[in-house]
Amino acid sequence: MVPCCKMSYNKKHVSVTLPGVRGLSSSSGPRVCIVGGGPAGFYTAQQLLKARQDAAVDVYERLPVPFGLVRFGVAPDHPEVKNVINTFTQTAQHERCSFHGNVNVGKDVTIDELRQAYHAVVLSYGAEGNRSMGISGEDLPGVFSAKDFVGWYNGLPSNKELRPDLSCETAVILGQGNVALDVARILLAPVEMLKETDITQNALEALAGSKVRRVLIVGRRGPLQIACTIKELREMVNLPNTRADMLPADFEGIAEALKDLPRPRKRLTELMMKAAKEGGDDKAEKCWGFRFFRSPVEVIAGADGKRATGIRLALNKLEGSGESARAEVTGQLEDVDCGLIISSIGYKSIPIDPAVPFDPRRAIVPNEMGRVQDTAGLYCSGWVKRGPTGVIATTMNDSFDTARVLIQDMEAGKLDLSVNKPGAQAITALLQTRGVRTVLFSHWEKINAEEEKRGKFLGKPREKLLDVDEMLKIAWS
């Protein structure tokens, strides 16, 4: 406990006297709380600190470690994308910013309590949920969400116990976005390509013994509607010891449509057609391929009914054209034998607190330009604002927009800045009374140093800690 801490708390007011707590931002200007320590949270903080020289920003994160999907979502063989962590670190070390990990907002502290301690609260907690396929058998062993599979090889603590059975020859991935291609690439990549990345050691060892030789990437629409980008497709095409295995029928009429496509879509389609035509190295031991115009209808169980051994697909036809084309079932079915099924049909945000409006159909916090519906002083940014779409740069622009709206509201007098708000000092004291100890950024730096030390021993940039209790022990040592 912090000595000489005096605190009074009721529904209208939080006040605290807390001497000399390191890592807490201090300012007599506006105090802003950000819920979520991933890209959306840090980009919002960055813009607020830049725009208001008197603002103090406190970032709360459920895990003891910062950076969200940059740490747990970006593929291990994409270290250049993770360089943005350097920018986030500068923000976290800013004299008017503080990081508070190990705080489960909505459980350890409520949104209303945060709103009473701050002039504004920004929800940037991302999309922790999985979209369900809604088909029979999807809960069978051998079926995983891409979110959980990615979390497994990227060291997300909640996925550390995942034990994907890689003893099968064929894996099927449902969905054709960048995450689907990341998963396919990790499944087929030579282990030599991965062993010097920050992939977890247990995932690396499992992949080294993998028998998976064929990965099918299934989408309900056609080549002109595929969701991945050219960078990820090019990586698949150039993957060593693999060849592309496509169905020529899926590309009928595509060549004639090329001339009318926007340049990015045209380049993507041309590369896909080239891969489909040339295939690749005939001596390659592994293959991958897109399967278009197919939707999952049932996971097929083995004779004992205890695990997945295949998937039943409905064959589709397109109604309409271009990006708005809809997939309509034809009544024909196709069974594919496979021992590993990964659903990559999207993430979804979940409600964080009953006091926060939530649109269950769209799985977002309803908002107008980042202002949460009917809730003054409450804002949102990132995936919880717009849905789980786009790349990190999309989230950056989106978060900057929310920060600008918040600043506008401050300058227009829509937020009462005349009242002093206690911010993190009050919340930290409140958390202490509930037995919750926070992880400051200086604590994270101890975890970071330990991970880098373990990684150096293995010839990797880091070996991520997988156990939250171990993280906390090192953080507070």
User: Binding-site residues for NADP(+), please?
Assistant: 176-179, 220-221, 232, 390
Q: Which DSSP state fits 158?
A: G
Residue 375 near residue 356 (C-beta atoms within 8 A): yes
d(CA 156, CA 128): 12
Helix (H) or strand (E) holding 342: strand 340-343
> Is residue 66 a contact partner of residue 87, using CB atoms and an 8 Å limit?
no
Nearest one of 40, 35, 2, 112 to 393, comparing CA atoms? 40
- What is the amino acid identity at position 53? Q
Distance CA 118, CA 14 (A): 10
Take residue 411 and report the two structure tokens written for it. Answer: 């300058």
φ and ψ of 77, to 5 deg: -90, 20
Helix (H, G, I), strand (E, B) or coil at 368: strand
Q: How far apart are the C-alpha atoms of 315 and 122, rounded to whole Å?
A: 44
Cα 278 from chain centre: 34
| Tokens linked to 342 | 């990964």
**Beta carbons within 8 Å of 69's beta carbon, 6+ residues apart:** 38, 39, 126
Binding residues: 40, 61, 69, 105, 176-179, 220-221, 232, 383, 390-392
Binding residues for FAD: 40, 61, 69, 105, 383, 390-392
- 31-35 and 56-60 strand pairing: parallel
* Dihedral sign, Cα of residue 56, residue 60, residue 65, residue 69: negative
Q: What does the chain come to in residues? A: 477
DSSP strands (E only) in 238-307: 242-244, 286-291, 294-301
Q: Could you tell me where the beta strands, DSSP code E, fall in 146-233?
A: 170-174, 214-218
Distance CA 269, CA 224 (A): 7
- Lookup result for tokens 């595929």: 226
How far apart CA 340 and CA 310 sit, in angstroms, is: 8
- Which residue from 327, 331, 342, 245 is spatially nearest to 293, judged by alpha carbons? 327
d(Cα 327, Cα 317) in Å, to the nearest integer? 6
Nearest to 475 by CA among 20, 23, 73: 23
In degrees rounded to 5, what are phi and psi of residue 468?
Answer: -60, -40
User: Looking at residue 355, what DSSP letter applies?
Assistant: T
Dist. CA 440–CA 223, nearest whole Å? 47
